[in-house]
Amino acid sequence: MCTHGEITVVEPGAAPPGAALSLTILPGESQAAAELGWTAGIPGAEVILAPSVKPRADVAGDTATGPAIDTLVTDSAGHVSVPDLPAGWYYVEVHRWLTDAERARLAPGDDLIGFMTQEVVERGSDTVYVPGSHRQSLLISEASFYSEYIPGACCYDYGGYLELVNNADTTVYLDGLVVGIFTINQEVTGGGHCAADESFDNDPDGVWVQYMDSLPGTGHDYPLAPGAVAVIATDAIDHRSLSPQDGLDLSHANFESVGTSDPDNPSVPNTVSIGTNGEYGNGFTGHGTQFDLGTGAGIVVALPVDTTSLPKGKLSPLSDYTLQRIPRSRILDVFLVDAVTDYFIASGFSYCVHQVNSYFDRTWPPWDLYTPPEGWRQRGQYSVQRKVAYTRADGRKLLQDTRSTEADFFIGLRTPFQLPSGPP
């Protein structure tokens, strides 16, 4: 008989308490902060905290990976703290919309409506700088660019649209408005291509585009009232017979992209191709500008420009495309679309750090990795929509604009011809 001696059973101790997450929430606009009397941080800001993961260097997307842990409000110095959190990364979303009395303290003409951001931070102490959200005048309110699924025939790519909104309190005119398209730059990781293109991708003086269309009109032909939207369709037709599952009736769109061989709706005015490279995609499809993922693209909306005076350049001497720079002073809005896929990442590709200068847009999310609850075959029924900052007492919705595609937009079921309702 063998023995192992005396055995002592030790009760496991309690798990060690987690450390705190302490945040200081600071306004990203010092002049406005001074006018508001915010000498420390942002007081009364709503801070939503949720679990997340360490951001991936390549188009991480600052998103939550689970339900919210807590919703907090900053103190008079802009501080919040949550004790006993496990080590790890956390999604933080901050909102602080100004009251009428606070907006009255701003300098005349300042259209700041509040502060908003979202980012991922690690447990511990951190400082979050929150950019301002401005009214602006004309904004992109929705972009429908997912391919529509046709059983047995793959994809239908001509049912997309771009929706614009007048976010101001006075009528704007769409005559001559420019819609520019540029391709998101990418390279095999470490290939040096991004460094060579940096002068185009990170130009503070404007955005370099491959294609440009303008809206028709001679000055005051196409008014857009405060709060109203205008839809630019790739094809302004009823798509329901061509795409039975996902197609929309866009026959009453405000404008349609000019194409060389697409169906033309005579009751909807066509855009005018004004870029050096001609029709979108060099006329390959004949449908004009497609608001689709493609190889990744960015969309620029700008005031009318004299194309003959725009600077021109090429990403490389052998490039088939001549780029034109829309000047900073004419740009109204920039929207970034990506085309990142798991195959893209596994193949060693990465996006260039800059696609446009941060003055125009700071971050973009991985829209192409999105799968709706019903499955990928229903993705064509979804669009990317601008968030509602708040709804005024008179029912007017004001949309958010912090110059961050990632922070300002969400994915939802398409809502052409009306303002977004969300995010949900």
What are the domain boundaries of the chain? 19-134, 138-413
> Can you give the pLDDT of all 424 residues of the chain as single tens digits?
444 455 444 454 443 456 899 999 999 999 999 999 998 999 999 999 999 988 765 455 567 888 999 999 999 999 999 998 999 999 999 999 999 999 999 999 999 999 999 989 999 999 999 999 999 999 999 999 898 999 888 889 899 999 999 999 999 999 999 999 987 666 656 666 778 888 888 999 999 999 999 999 999 999 999 999 999 999 999 999 999 999 999 999 999 999 888 888 999 999 999 999 888 876 667 788 887 665 567 899 999 999 999 999 987 766 778 999 999 999 999 998 765 555 566 666 666 777 889 899 887 777 777 889 999 899 999 999 999 999 999 999 999 999 998 889 999 999 999 999 877 6
Query: Both tokens of residue 37?
Result: 């009397």
List C-alpha distances in Å: 376 to 145, 371, 380.
Answer: 14, 5, 8
Supply the pLDDT for residue 14: 43
Supply the pLDDT for residue 1: 47
Supply the pLDDT for residue 13: 43
Round to whole Å and give the CA distance between 101 and 88: 40
In which region does residue 131 sit, left (phi positive, over 0), alpha (psi from -120 to 50) or beta (all else)?
A: beta
Q: Could you tell me if 64 and 49 are in contact, meaning their C-beta atoms sit under 8 angstroms apart?
A: no
How many whole angstroms from its chain centre is CA 259?
Answer: 27
At the fourth CATH level, the homologous superfamily of domain 19-134 is: Immunoglobulins (2.60.40.10)
Supply the pLDDT for residue 417: 97
Supply the pLDDT for residue 336: 85
Supply the pLDDT for residue 331: 97
Query: Both tokens of residue 88?
Result: 């790890």
Supply the pLDDT for residue 388: 95
What is the reported pTM?
0.89
Give exposure, 107-134, as e/b (b: 16+ Cβ within 10 Å).
Answer: eeebbbbbbbbbbbbebeeeebebbbbb
Supply the pLDDT for residue 348: 67
> Which of 183, 421, 166, 207 minimizes the C-alpha distance to 292?
183
